[in-house]
Each structure stands twice: as structure tokens, then as C-alpha cells.
Amino acid sequence: QLVSFAQSHGYAVFYITGRPESQTAATIKDLTSAGYAAPQAGHLFLKPATAPSYLHCANPSACTTIEYKSGTRKHISSEGYSIVADFGDQYSDLLGGDAGHQVKLPNPMYYIP
């Protein structure tokens, strides 16, 4: 409901996941099966095998999750978007900057220390 509310009030919604790009179709299926609208073109980011040029990671061949997600948020901001809120069930979803208001969601089934 929050995503639908945000979209209906003119907010762009982006999805950033640590899933590999090979799971794009499955990720879209999971989102739509859960009741979300399919992400707009360019608004779904899955972790690529090699870092895109906008990411600057300590080890370019293997960005950490925090480097990948915060760098992707920074990239989104560089395209003129202001990130007003960031929601995630892992602290790696929220750390590293460019996150706006941060909301840590509980997830007792899955935790990355």
C-alpha cells in the first residue's frame, strides 16, 4: 500500500537488491506476485557480475553489498532524484549514505551480519 500511495503521489520507486542480474525475471515475478506493480524501466537494480562504471568499490571485481547499494543510490541521486526514504530488512540496505529517511524492517527469517 505504501508503494502504491507513493507512486500515486508522484514519487518514483526504485528497487535495489543483492540478487544477481540472472534473477531479474524471477525478481519481477516475485514483486508482481506480492502485489507490486512491475518496476518501471531503469528502476530495478540487481547486482551485476562486474561493477558498472558508476560504482567505485575498494575491490572493483567484487563490490560489497554496502558499496553496491549505497553506490547505486548515489547513482540514482546523480540522475536528479532526491531519495526521501530507504526501506530494507538488512542494515546493508541502509548504510553508506544517500539513503534519505531510513526504515529498518524486521525479518526474523533472514539476517546478514
Residue-wise pLDDT for 16-32, tens only, equals 998 999 999 999 999 99
Q: Could you give the percent of the chain with pLDDT greater than 70?
A: 96
Most confident residue range from 27-36, 44-53, 87-96: 27-36
- Does an H or E element contain 4, and which? helix 2-8
Q: Is 68 helix (H, G, I), strand (E, B) or coil?
A: helix
Q: How many residues does the chain have?
A: 113
State the greatest distance between any 2 C-alpha atoms of the chain, in Å, as a whole number.
40
Among 38, 74, 39, which Cα is nearest to 53's? 74
pTM for this predicted structure: 0.88
Q: How far apart are CA 87 and CA 10, in angstroms?
A: 18
